Amino acid sequence: MADGVMIVTGGSRGIGAATAKAGAKAGYAVVVNYASNEAAANAVVADIEAAGGKAVAVKGDVGVEADILAIFEAADRLGPLTALINNAGIVDEAGTLADMTAARLERMFRINITGSILCAREAAKRMGKCHGGKGGAIVNLSSVAAKLGGPGQYLDYAASKGAIDTLTVGLAKELIDDGIRVCAVRPGIIDTDIHASGGQPDRVAQLGPGLPMKRAGTAQEVAGAILWLASDEASYSTGAILDVSGARSIWP
Ligand code: NAP
C-alpha cells in the first residue's frame, strides 16, 4: 500500500475525481482540491470515506498563488506529502487565432501552466530530499493536444499542454537528486465535463465513434495510468510522458 498524502488538484470531477478515489484505494490520504463545486468535492470525499479511505476537500484556485499555499498547508495537516497530481486544467470556448485575446491567454496559462509550476514548487519543498523530505512523485496532466496543436479550436490550450510536456522533462531532471520523479500523462478525448465547459457538450458523442478505438476514454482509464506513474512500481520512470489516448495521437 502507498503511504503519505496525495494532493489531486481539481479532484472534484472528471479525471481528478477518479484519481482521488483510486489514490485513496491505493492507500494515500487524499487532498481533493476543487475550485468552486463544493458538492462534487464533498461527494468524492464521502465515496472515499465510505470505502474506508481518508480524504479532505480543500477549496482553492490553482491560478492564485495564495490559494496554492493554503492547499499545501491543508495537506501538511494530513501528514507527509508523497505525491502531487497536477490535474486541474481548463479549456476555453473553441476558436481560431483571431479569437485569442490577451485576457483569455493570461487565464489559460495562469491556471494550466503557472498553477502547475507553483504546485510543483510547493511539493518539492516538502518531498525533496535536499529539503529533508523522503522523495515522492509528481504526475502532470498534459494532453494529446500538445502533439496535435489544437488548430482552429484550442491553440491556446494545446500550447499550454506543450508547456506541461516541457515542464515534465525539465523538472524530472532538476528534481532527480531530490528523489522526486516527475512524469505526465497525455489523455486523448476522455468523457468528462471539460467538453461542456468549452461549449461543446456533445463532443464525446460526436467524435467518439470516429476515434481509433471507436470510443472516448474514461476518467478511470486515465486514473489507472496516473496511479501507476505515482507508485513505486514506476520507480525507474521519470521524465516519462505516457499517452492514454487510444492511439488518437498516432493514428493514422
Ligand atoms: P473537468 O471534468 O472539467 O474537471 C476539472 C476539475 O478541475 C474540477 O474538479 C474543477 O473543480 C477543477 N478546476 C478547474 N479549474 C480549477 C482551478 N483554477 N483551480 C483548481 N481546480 C480547478 O476536467 P477533466 O476533463 O477531468 O480534465 C482534467 C485534466 O485532464 C485537465 O488538466 C485537462 O486539461 C486534462 N485533459 C482532459 C482531457 C479530456 O478529454 N477530458 C483530455 C486531455 C487532457 P470544480 O469542480 O470546483 O469546478
Q: Which atom of ligand 1 is nearest to the CA of 15?
A: 26
Query: Does residue 191 register a pLDDT over 90?
Result: yes
Q: Which residues are known to be catalytic?
A: 157
Alpha helices in the chain (DSSP H): 14-26, 38-50, 65-78, 102-109, 115-127, 145-148, 155-174, 194-197, 203-207, 219-230
Is the CB–ligand 1 distance for residue 203 below 6 Å? no
Domains and CATH numbers, the chain: 5-244 (3.40.50.720)
* Banded model confidence at residue 251, pLDDT cuts 50, 70, 90: confident
As a whole number, mean pLDDT of residues 2-16 equals 97
Q: Pull the grid cell for residue 248.
A: 488518437
252 has pLDDT over 80: no
**Cα dihedral sign for 71, 225, 241, 2?**
positive
Bond into 187 cis (ω within 30): no
pTM of the model: 0.98
Whether 57 contacts 42, CB under 8 Å: yes
Cβ of residue 35 lying under 6 Å from some atom of ligand 1: yes
C-beta separation of 115 from 124 below 8 A = no
DSSP of 29-93: EEEEEESS-HHHHHHHHHHHHHTT-EEEEEE--TTSHHHHHHHHHHHHHH--EEEEEE-------
Cα–Cα distance between 163 and 230 in angstroms, integer? 20
Could you give the 3-state DSSP secondary structure of residue 101?
Answer: coil
| pLDDT surpasses 80 at 244 | yes
pLDDT digits (tens, 9 = 90+) for 197-238: 999 999 999 999 999 999 999 999 999 999 999 999 999 999
Query: Which of 192, 211, 241, 243 should be mutated for ligand 1, with most atoms under 8 A from CB?
Result: 192
- Ligand 1 centroid–CA 131 distance in Å is 30
13 pLDDT tier (thresholds 50, 70, 90): very high
Strand partners, 187: 244
Q: Is the CB of 248 under 6 A from ligand 1?
A: no
pLDDT at 249: 83
Give the pLDDT confidence of 16-35 residue by residue, as tens digits: 999 999 999 999 999 999 99
